[in-house]
Amino acid sequence: MALLTAETFRLQFNNKRRLRRPYYPRKALLCYQLTPQNGSTPTRGYFENKKKCHAEICFINEIKSMGLDETQCYQVTCYLTWSPCSSCAWELVDFIKAHDHLNLRIFASRLYYHWCKPQQDGLRLLCGSQVPVEVMGFPDSRGTCAGSLHGYIV
């Protein structure tokens, strides 16, 4: 799977409140890393929203299609430009409950409609289901923030 360009990454994962002109549409992107606990090479990829399929659902479908060994444990880390909407939060929880060999962590650049109760409930559901959701911070003096996104961009 192709990686994001550095420019796409810089524009889309920017979590500043105010943007300078020219403005650009903020896309919903999900970058992931699937790491087998046996030390094998991690699998990386990304998805963006499609017309009738959010990036989270595309991600779930991709992981299901991989035919992962259910006797093997996997760490899955997702980096999202927006936190999951409430319906995607439910889908992610159902997916993780059905696949107990997966351990999912989510880092979001921005919170999606965080002032709306359904979105708050979705985030609470994820956290209550052992799926931590963290908001990425601004880059520190070394240029890094929560989680490591190196390797997702070209």
> Is 103:74 a contact under the CB 8 Å cutoff?
yes
**Domain-embedded: residue 4:** no
Ranges of residues in the chain whose predicted pLDDT is under 50: 140-154
- Asked whether residue 63 is assigned to any structural domain, the reply reads yes
Domain assignment present for 20: no
- 56 has catalytic annotation: yes
- The total domain count for the chain is 1
Q: What is the CA radius of gyration of the chain?
A: 15
Dihedral angle sign, alpha carbons of residues 81, 86, 89, 95: negative
- Secondary structure of 14-80 in HEC code, one letter for each residue: CCCCCCCCCCCCCCCEEEEEEEECCCCCCEEEEEECECCECHHHHHHHHHHHCCCCCCCCEEEEEEE
**Which residues, listed in sequence order, are joined to residue 106 by a DSSP beta bridge?**
78, 133
Over the stretch 64-109, which tens digit does the pLDDT of each residue have?
999 999 999 999 999 988 899 999 999 999 999 999 999 999 998 8
Q: What is the pLDDT of residue 118?
A: 85
Q: Cβ distance 89 to 128 under 8 Å?
A: no
Instruction: Note whether 91 and 61 are within 8 A (CB).
Output: no
What domain range includes position 111? Answer: 26-135
Out of 56, 62, 70, 134, the active site residue is 56
CATH of residue 104's domain is 3.40.140.10
In a domain, 14, yes or no: no
Asked whether residue 154 is domain-assigned, the answer is no
User: What's this model's pTM, rounded to 2 decimal places?
Assistant: 0.80
CA atoms within 13 A on the CB side of 57: 12
Predicted local distance difference test score (pLDDT) of residue 115: 74
